[in-house]
Each structure stands twice: as structure tokens, then as C-alpha cells.
Structure 1
Amino acid sequence: MKSNTHVTGDVVPPSEVKDVEIEHLDAVEAVINKRLIRKIDFRIIPVLILLFAFSLIDRNIIATARVAGMGKDLDLVGNRYSVALLSLFPLYILIELPTNFILRRISVKAFFFGMVLCWGVVALCHAFVQTYPQLVAVRVLLGLFEGSFQPVCIYIVSSWYTRYETQRRLAIWFALGQLIAAFSGILSYGLSTLNGTGGLEGWRWIYIVPGLITTVLAFPLWFLISEFPEKAKWLKPEELAQLRASLSEDRAEILEEQMNMARALKALKDWKVWLLASLLFFLTSAAYTMSFFTPTILSSLGYSVAMSQILVTPPYIAACLANITTGIAADKLHMRSPFIIGHGILTMVGFGMIGWGPNTGAKMTGIYFSIIGSQCAIPAVYTFLANNVVGTTKRQIAVPLQTVWGGIGGIAGSVYFRQQDYPLYRPGLYASFTSLSLCLILTTFLAIYFWRENRKAERDGKILEGVQHFRYTL
């Protein structure tokens, strides 16, 4: 008896059909996840970039105001300029520690509105100081109101993205903010030409315009700033569920984990948190040196006041491009420490060229290397900590602790380049070399330790950070 079945081609085994279906579902899920991440990017990142830019402008335009006449009018002789710089940081540091605890207990919108409005008003007040003590007083208040900003931004970004989505976002936030702020040199030059307008000196206009912009910017923040993921009403329920699943799978975290004393003390007893946080001190001391003293260094090379202000901008344009490129590369490679080390070495080479370069061209190249290296290393250090800290409580402790170290680095950077060391600034260069060397040593130590712990987890099944399948990021 003949069979009526007629086979016209190869029969696909059920297992292969199932594999194809799984691959198709994975591809669909990847597309959906990409759309969700893009939606989050457009809602979270641009407003943080704009605010970061104005925080830098309001904090650092003292450098261009000084060469535009403020130094002479307020008699900033001897170490007065350095004292005015570092006066920003004591309250800046103190306010960072409780910031993220406060943020979890009040509306993010209200927090940002109050913070930006206050620092904008204080930034504007710089234009009306008449004496050196008044300048120090408004710098202290600026530190009080700006101190919360960076830890909040880092915490928000690390709350919305998985570990290997974070550095490129922080790099874009940091680089574009720095790039926009870098144009303050050109803006300052333009505003300084208003000297005599309204009976005010040109350096006062350098403070008035950015201060007014920051103050006005506070009001639309109520509509632009997003709450944390669990309270974000602009996400659909299915999108929120997908985000929560991604974050939980990445770090095995519970978004609503409540802070308590036991968890806080456990986080503070973790020596890795302290070492990861301290890396920012060694880098920011070098980065702040360039932010505060680049116009002065350019002036020492023989450039006019106007040209010194204008030449501040191009190195930050180069640093922006390098920062975004290396941030994307670091996320794709799932690596942080090689980028910190590489950029740290570039910064050291730059400082060497500034101090010992044979001509102006070499010293200008050193300025580029120092700014590019230090600016690119900082987002990598932020992410190195964020990737290796598990749990919302520990991150609420670790991120402010890291930015406190960054603030202390700002104090150090404020006094590295002293007036009496003009024009070579050798003691400041030696101090910068020491800070950067310690950064490289600690980064190498942590990378080796993390590598060895990951090997134990793979070989012996050791559970890291109390989370199954967690691996440290090198």
C-alpha cells in the first residue's frame, strides 16, 4: 500500500524552529528596548547637560573675570585669588553627603527648582560685590547651592540605566556640558566689551548675563525634570515593567530598597567604596587646575586678555569629541580602568609639556593634552564606581562620597598654582604629577583585585557582592 504523503523539501526539525522563534523574539525585544532607552535619553540627558553647563559657567567664570579686570578692582593680590577659589568648596563638600537621602524623600522637581533658583541668584550677586570679603562670601554661598548638583546627576543617571549603558551617558553629559561651558571664554570676551555700559565694569557683565540665564532656567525645570523610574508618570506601565526588569537583571537591585542605618554602615565599611571614591580626588585636582588657571597660563605665554579668553574654548571642543568616543568604546568593551589609566598618562604628559615645553607651540599642545586627558578620565571614574557598587543604599552612600572627594580635589586644585610661582608654576605641576600618579596606582590595584575576584567567581563559584552571577567591571 502506497503512502499518500509526498515530501517536496527538507523537513525542519522542531528544535531548529524553536531556535528561530527565540532569535526572532530576542530581536523584537532588542528593538523595543532600544526605543525605550532612546525615549529615556531624550527625557533625562539634555536637561542635565544644560544645567551642568551653567553650573560650570557660574562656578568657573571667575577665571575670565579675573583677567578682565576683577583682579585689579577687588585687589586680588598674593594668595587672595586662590582663597576665593577654594572658598566655594567647604559647604559644597558638606552638602553633598546628605543630598541623595533628601532627594529620595522629596519631589525631584521641587529639589531641582529650589537648587537652581538659589544658585542662579547667588551667581548673579557676584556682579555686585565691591570688596574681596564680599567675593569670598558669595563664593561660599554658591558652593552651598551648587554642591548638590553633581551627585544628584550621577545618581539619577545610574538609576535609569544598566551598568554598560552608563558611561556613554555620563560621558555625553559631562563632555557636552563642558563644551557649552567652554564657550563662556568667548562669551566673556564679548561681555567684557560692555565695559562702562550701565556704569558697570566689563567683568561685572560677565557675571550678570549667565546669572540671569540660570535664574530664569529654574522655572521650566518643574516641567522638564523627571522623577525616579518608579515615579515616572511619562512611562507606560509596560515600559516601566521592562525597565525594572532590565535594571534588576543587571544589578539584582530592588528599586524601592529602603535606607536604614545597618545598610548605610555596611556600605561605609566597604574599603572598595572608599578607594573607588578617592580616585576622583586625584583627577579633579588636575582638572580644576586647568579650569581655574588656563587663562592665566595662556596670559603667561604672552597672549592678550582677549586672546587668553578665546583660546580656552578649543581644547574643550577636542575633549568633548574624545570623551564621547571613549565613552562609547568603554561601554562596548565593558572596561573602565584602561581608559582611566590611559587618560591619566595623557594628562601627565600634558602637564610636562606645559612646564618644560621648549616653545609656545609645545606648551599649547600640553594644555590640549591635559584638558583632554583629565576631562575624559572623570566620567570613567564616575562609572567605575557606579558599575561596581550593588544596591541602591550603597549607591546612595558611594556617589556622594565620591563627589565629596571631587570637591576636596577642587580645593587642592585651587591652590596648586600659586601667584608667587608665576610664570612657571613648578610646585603646582609637581603636585599634579603626584596626584595623577596615585590615581594610576590605585586604579591598577583595583583592576587587579577585581580581575582576581572575577576569576574566583568563575572558577570556584564565589558569590560577589551577595549577588549570583555578578561580576566586577575592570
Structure 2
Amino acid sequence: MAAISQPPDVEKPNISSSSSDNIYNKNHNTDADSKNDHPAPSEKIPSLDPAAENKLLLKLDAVFVPIIMLVYLSCFLDRTNIGNVRVAGMPEDIGASPQEFSTAVSIFYATYVAFESPWAILLKKLTPRVVLTSLCVIWSLTTIFSGFITNVGGLYAARLVLGACEGGLFPGLNLYLTMVYKREEQARRVSYLFVCAALSGAFGGLLAYCLLKMDGVGGYAGWRWVYIIEGIFSFLIAFLIWFGLPNDPSNAYFLNKEEKAMMRVRALQRAQYMGSEEFSWDEIWTEFKDFKLWISGAIQFCQDILLYGFSTFLPSIITSMGHSSIEAQYLTIPVYILGGIVFLSLAFISDHLCIRGPFILFANVFGIVGYILIICPTANGVKFFGTFLCAIAVYSGPGLNLTWLNVNVAPHYRRAAAIGFQQTLGNTAGVVAGQIYRTAPYLLGNVFSVGALGLAQILIVIKWLYIKRQNAWKEKILSGEVPDKRKVKTGDRELDFKYHL
């Protein structure tokens, strides 16, 4: 069967034309597809051979996913290695008190959240290659120079610069994924990013364990080598971004002529989701008035308290259970690996069913139980088991919630504003995390985290009910039961755009 079967007049589809998201070959519609997408009858939409499209997806994944994962892995390593060096004597060497060290953890998020939305909106204008490569180079050099700081002021400065650069990475990578994949293909790709966050914890613990043994080499303390070596690793990744991530994924260097034609067809199928290429302030202001954005940001804030508190302070939490600083480094590895594996599994199922909210609720239950085990007067072995349960919620919650917003906002610039602002709201949790995890046994931090999970569960239910009501309202308008008095009727507000629950 031919890869593309299309009428002659759509040989080169107009990507910016209005059409339903995922208007797909009828022979390939899954139940989830049919529930979430309604083709416009006036559109002549090309048809893709499912086998050929799956082959194309494998090729896209084989090239883009490893690069994106390595970029985010290096980013998260450079952000969270402050937790590894904390138990290796860094605060004492630079004369930082526990309060000053907590401040250093928190101020990273001051610039991180301030720059997220601007970088997300500027990504397409400045091009992904220029923005992402530049940011990676600057934060890599900052990490290397962190190995030479001698006082608290130097640590503060490094963390502020690091935050300003890394603030653009996660929204940028998410937007890049939306330029390549359809709505129902995104959760598993976003999951790769959060798996990298988990892997950075596991790999970071293992790497720190090895690098700390370099203590004294060249006259430098082991914690300094952690910064220097990990910064060099990130610097090398910048070359991968420049040469590996084209500004126009549909014209990628590794695609042949037929595959590029298929990418144009996929772009037409996603036209409603992507929208106009022209920047519009109206789209941004429209999104800021969207209830989905605000409640999604509130959920992300609650989930990120876990993500940043757990990923930064897990070595310290394990040390408070009676383990040495070296033991704490390698004991984090299986915890992070389990969190990543479970998140990958949930993301695959979520994409297959096009269901998001219930999976976040499910993952959070494990986190609540885990934190309760850590908080209660249980044996240290039970507390350590609790960290495994926490890891399930730590990565699955933020990742699936982000995907939930990604797939329910259109077009591009409305989505860019949504992702940037949601991450801005969510990442202010990093400031909180740095203040609640101060002294062992970190009771305040763990109690605060389980409370945040409980609040997140309530907010998730509210968001789910709201989205379900919006879908039902659209159905009533389509059937003529109620008049359409809505002010905004474009993008995700179009009647044939069905929100994922």
C-alpha cells in the first residue's frame, strides 16, 4: 500500500489551514481517536498508510528522543547536583550555614520561573536551535565554574545564572515535541523527559559516588570535581542540540522525500492543534483567561514540591536514616530507576487510552502512602521502602499533568504561553522545597509534601470535572440543544476539538 494516498490538489498541504486535530485515515482510527477528533467534511485530508507512519515515528524517535533525553539529563544533573555535593562537604568548604545553603537551593527558581514564559514564547521567533544551544552552553560553563567557587556569594550567583538558562529548556523541549508529534503521541515522549529526571538522580548518585573518590586530585575537593566533570558533559551536549535538532522537524536532514511528504500530511492533520505561524498577543491573552491553565498550574505547583524536594534532598533524607554520605549516593539509584520505569508505563497507557487525569490520581496514592511511611516512627528499612513509593508520584504526577495541558491547548502560541506560565507557577515550588528541607530528619519537608499531594488530588478532580463539562457543552452546541454564545471559538475552543480527560 502506498504510504500516502491523497487527492492531487493537496500534494503540498497548507499547514496553517483550519482542520481538526488528528483527522486520520478511517482505517486507522482507534476508539480513542474517534472519541477525540471529528473531521471537517469539507476538508480533503490525505490518508497515510499506518505501517508507513509507524515506521516514520520509529525513525523520528530514534533520532530526536535520544538527543532530547540527553539534553534534559544534563540539565537536571546540573540543577540537582547541589544535593549530592551537600553531603560531600561543600557547605563547610565555602562557609555556608544551613540557612544560606537552603537559600542557594531556592534562589535558583527565582530566575528559573521568571524566564520560563519569555523563552517559551521566543522559541519559534529565535528558532529552537539557537535558543536551546545557547542556553545549554551558558549553563554548562556556569556549572564548570561552580567547581571553583569559594564563598556563598559565588554560589548564589551561579545558581541565579543556572536558573535563568535552564528556565527555557523544559518549555522549549515540550514545544519542540508538539512540532513533531500528534496529541495522542505526546505523553510517552514527555515521559522520556521525566524519565531523564529520574535517571539524572540515579546517574547523578552513581557519578557523584565515583567523582567524590577524586577528592584531593589536582588539589581539589571531590565535590568540585562533581561540578567540573558534569559541566563538561553538558557542554558537549550543546553540539548535539545544534547539529541534531533542526528548526523545522518536517524537513529534518535524516528524512527521505517520501517521509517529508508524510510529515507534511501529519502537519495538515495537526493544523488545528498547531495553528497560525504568526505571533499573536490575542492568543496569549486568551490563554491567560483559561481556567484550565490556572488549575493546571496549581496542580503542577503541588506536584513540583515533591519533584524538587525529593530529587534535590533524597541523598540527605537517606543520610538521615543512618546511612553514610557515600552510601546515600548509591542508595538513591534504585529509587530513581523505579520512579522512571513506572512513569514510562503509565505514560504509554495514557497515550493509548487518551486519558490523563485518572493516572495522576493513581500515581499520587503511592506517594501519599510513601510519605506517611517516612513520617511515621517506623524502622529505617520501612522508611527507605517509602522512598520507592514516593518516587512513583514524584515523576508521574508532574509529567502527566504537563501532558494533560499540552494536548488540551491550541494553537501554538496559546500553547506556548500555557506551557511557559504553567511551568512558572509550578516551579515556584522549588523556592518552597529549598526552605522546607533544612535539618534532619526533615519532618517539615515530608509533612508539607504529603499535604501538597492531598491538595493536588482535590484539584485534579476539579479539573477533570471541568474538562468533562466543557466537552459535554460542546456536544450540546453541536446538536443544537443550546445556542453558541461563546466569545472565543478558535483553537481548542472549536466544537470538534475534544479535550482529553
Q: Give the TM-score normalised by structure 1.
A: 0.90
Q: Deviations over 1:354-407 (max 9, x none)?
A: 111510111011111111211112210111101111211210110111111232
| Deviation of the 1:231 alpha carbon | 5.5
Structure 2: distance between partners of 1:304 and 1:310: 10
| Deviation of the 1:412 alpha carbon | 1.3
CA contact (8 A) 1:334 1:473 kept: yes
Greater mean alpha carbon deviation, residues 286-295 or residues 237-246: 237-246
| Deviation of the 1:230 alpha carbon | 5.3
CA contact (8 A) 1:43 1:226 kept: no
- Of 493, 498, 501, the match for 1:466: 493
Q: Deviations over 1:186-240 (max 9, x none)?
A: 2111111111110111111111111111123223432112223456454455534
| Residue number in structure 2 paired with 1:243 | 263
Residue type of the partner of 1:442?
L
- Of 170, 186, 192, the match for 2:206: 186
| Deviation of the 1:163 alpha carbon | 1.1
CA contact (8 A) 2:375 2:447 kept: no
| Residue number in structure 2 paired with 1:403 | 423
Cα gap change, 1:69/1:22 in structure 2, threshold over 3 Å: closer, same or farther? closer
Map 1:32-431; keep pairs closer than 5 Å. Answer: 32-229=52-249, 232=252, 234-236=254-256, 238-250=258-270, 252-419=272-439, 422-423=440-441, 425-431=442-448
Structure 2: distance between partners of 1:168 and 1:436: 23
**SS at structure 2 position matched to 1:311:** helix
| Deviation of the 1:23 alpha carbon | 5.3
Greater mean alpha carbon deviation, residues 274-283 or residues 60-69: 274-283
| Residue number in structure 2 paired with 1:9 | none
Cα gap change, 1:220/1:453 in structure 2, threshold over 3 Å: closer, same or farther? closer
CA contact (8 A) 2:201 2:311 kept: no
| Residue number in structure 2 paired with 1:454 | 471
| Residue number in structure 2 paired with 1:445 | 462
| Deviation of the 1:351 alpha carbon | 1.0
Structure 1: distance between partners of 2:368 and 2:271: 35
Structure 2: distance between partners of 1:382 and 1:445: 16
| Residue number in structure 2 paired with 1:6 | none
Residue type of the partner of 2:460?
T
Cα gap change, 1:43/1:24 in structure 2, threshold over 3 Å: closer, same or farther? closer
CA contact (8 A) 2:367 2:390 kept: yes
Bigger radius of gyration:
1
Greater mean alpha carbon deviation, residues 223-232 or residues 131-140: 223-232
Cα gap change, 1:167/1:133 in structure 2, threshold over 3 Å: closer, same or farther? same
Structure 2: distance between partners of 1:209 and 1:386: 34
Cα gap change, 1:211/1:254 in structure 2, threshold over 3 Å: closer, same or farther? closer
Residue type of the partner of 2:233?
I
CA contact (8 A) 1:315 1:372 kept: no
**SS at structure 1 position matched to 2:428:** helix
Residue type of the partner of 1:469?
D
CA contact (8 A) 1:75 1:132 kept: yes
Structure 2: distance between partners of 1:312 and 1:208: 22
| Deviation of the 1:453 alpha carbon | 2.5
CA contact (8 A) 2:250 2:263 kept: no
| Deviation of the 1:257 alpha carbon | 2.9
Structure 2: distance between partners of 1:175 and 1:222: 23
Q: Give the TM-score normalised by structure 2.
A: 0.85
CA contact (8 A) 1:49 1:177 kept: no
Structure 1: distance between partners of 2:495 and 2:264: 18
CA contact (8 A) 1:251 1:390 kept: no
CA contact (8 A) 2:275 2:410 kept: no
Structure 2: distance between partners of 1:362 and 1:247: 50
| Deviation of the 1:241 alpha carbon | 4.4
CA contact (8 A) 2:371 2:447 kept: no
CA contact (8 A) 2:374 2:387 kept: yes
Greater mean alpha carbon deviation, residues 100-109 or residues 82-91: 100-109
| Residue number in structure 2 paired with 1:3 | none
Structure 2: distance between partners of 1:24 and 1:394: 29
CA contact (8 A) 1:194 1:201 kept: yes
Structure 2: distance between partners of 1:413 and 1:174: 18
Residue type of the partner of 2:459?
L
| Deviation of the 1:282 alpha carbon | 0.8
Structure 1: distance between partners of 2:256 and 2:379: 60
| Deviation of the 1:242 alpha carbon | 3.1
Residue type of the partner of 1:190?
C
| Residue number in structure 2 paired with 1:12 | none
| Deviation of the 1:440 alpha carbon | 1.1
Q: Which runs of 5+ in 2 are unaligned?
A: 1-24, 30-45
Q: Which runs of 5+ in 1 are unaligned?
A: 1-20
Structure 2: distance between partners of 1:294 and 1:23: 49
| Residue number in structure 2 paired with 1:11 | none
Q: Deviations over 1:241-290 (max 9, x none)?
A: 43344354356245543122222211211122221233211101111111
Cα gap change, 1:145/1:93 in structure 2, threshold over 3 Å: closer, same or farther? same
**SS at structure 2 position matched to 1:379:** helix
Residue type of the partner of 2:66?
P
CA contact (8 A) 1:283 1:436 kept: yes
| Deviation of the 1:98 alpha carbon | 0.9
CA contact (8 A) 1:156 1:228 kept: no
**What is the Cα-based RMSD across aligned positions, in Å?**
2.3
**SS at structure 1 position matched to 2:121:** helix
